[in-house]
Structure 1
Amino acid sequence: MSQDNDPGRVTFTALFRRFGATVDRAEELGLAAAVHVPAFGIMANHLRFAHFIAQLAHESDNFKAMEEYASGAAYEGRANLGNVQKGDGVRYKGRGPIQLTGRANYRDYGRAIGIDFERRPELPAIPSIGLHVACKYWDLKGLNGLADRDDIQGITRKINGGSNGLDDRKAKLATMKGLLA
């Protein structure tokens, strides 16, 4: 994957466009990916990169949604997400290409990359910041190892907590594998 204009190589930006991101969003995500994706070992092999993009494409509705469409009210009072104060569900709803959700995740991943997301929960919705969060999440959850084993169900459980959207994730993974073949 390249960020240059070599016509024989797919750029990060072109890849995000392929999945449906707008031109501006694809450019911002592409620039962030060029910095962060290799730094987290996600480019070490095609399986890691294919799984990473497939999961993010699913979570973000093909990079169209950097903020969850729903209000977040369904997360209200969810102690397993750290939503213990009134209004936390809406305030800490899914954002970024990984759809970071819950006060505890905002606090923990914000600390991990040095930004106070608990105080500024809108920041992970900025595509470049959200992509950095997604890479850090991928790393801290040990998803490279699962990708190396081509374990889409294991990756999906660590991202989503279950198997929500598994068929779509599999289709996106097949698309990515085809693009990288």
Structure 2
Amino acid sequence: MKIEQSLLRRMWPQGDRRVAGLIAGTAAVSESVFARFGIDTPDLVAHVMAQLSHECGAGQEVVENLDYTAARMMQVWPSRFPTLASAAPYAHNPRALANKVYNGRMGNRAGSDDGWSYRGRGAAQTTGREGYARLAALTGLDLVNHPELLIDPRYFLLCGVADFVACGCLPFARADDVVGVTRRLNGGTIGLAERKAWLASWKAALAEAPVVIASPPLAPDLPADPTLRPQPAPPPSRWSQLIAVLRAAFRRI
């Protein structure tokens, strides 16, 4: 299946705001990416695109925003920041916050910059060195050394769909179980109502989209039927040759 650029632009109207060319790049590779992972029905495409639409904010939130206030940090990570004083050093300091909350887990090395380097990124908001390494193995892209490739328009959908499949979402999508898909991808049910709304929107949009059937390849040019080719005249008989000689002789008399 293929998502036409016009449809994706309608669903993600601000999709190019953060990454130029994201809409065109995603639409261009959609058919090959879905085929690669066996996403072969409109409902499966709808489940994938619903989750990715929510995760990346329809293309507007392709890199995790960690610019938090101290009060917000206490809400998101209450065990790490039980007081305003504990959160204050990381307020509006995204890099320090990423390393504080993500290092020492998800494959990120303690005391490193891994938390920042491997913060949520891409269509599925892949997070952690282990997550990036897993996608690298699935896609063949060097995402550990080049994490920015997750938001490259050429690979944005590939990485998002690979993460969807790697998380074990596909069986639940085949069963039309949006809760199961969400739990596998998210680890919980955060944003479930919005994900359900996205799923309904994508199902409706794909149902309205025309089915594009590729034209069969043109048949190779066939040689012309030899029976229709001009045939050489048969050689003249000896009798016809004699008549021709006599005619020529009479003309000279």
1:8-31 superposed Cα distances (whole Å, 9 cap, x missing partner): xxx431232122223832111111
2-side partners of 1:55 and 1:138: how far apart? 8
Larger radius of gyration: 2
Please name the residue that 1:95 is paired with. Answer: 121
4+ runs deviating over 3 angstroms: none
Please name the residue that 1:55 is paired with. Answer: 51
1:116-157 superposed Cα distances (whole Å, 9 cap, x missing partner): 211112211213212111222223333221111111111111
**1:138 matches 2:156:** no
Structure 2 residue aligned with 1:162, among 188, 206, 209?
188
Structure 1 residue aligned with 2:26, among 20, 26, 29?
29
1:1-181 matches, within 5 Å, as 1-2=1-2, 11-20=3-12, 21-22=15-16, 24-42=21-39, 44-70=40-66, 71=94, 73=98, 75-79=101-105, 81-85=106-110, 86-181=112-207
Kindly indicate whether structure 1 or structure 2 has the higher relative contact order, using CA contacts under 8 Å at least 6 residues apart. 1
2:11 maps to a residue whose letter is F
| Secondary structure of 2:29's aligned partner | helix
Q: CA RMSD in A?
A: 1.9
1-side partners of 2:35 and 2:5: how far apart? 15
Q: Tell me the number of residue pairs that the alignment of Structure 1 and Structure 2 aligns.
A: 171
Determine what percentage of the aligned residue pairs are the same residue: 33
Query: Is residue 66–residue 97 contact of structure 1 (8 Å, CA) maintained in 2?
Result: yes
Query: Is residue 96–residue 127 contact of structure 1 (8 Å, CA) maintained in 2?
Result: no
- Can you give the 5+ residue segments of structure 2 that lack an aligned partner in the other structure? 67-93, 208-253
1:64 maps to a residue whose letter is Q
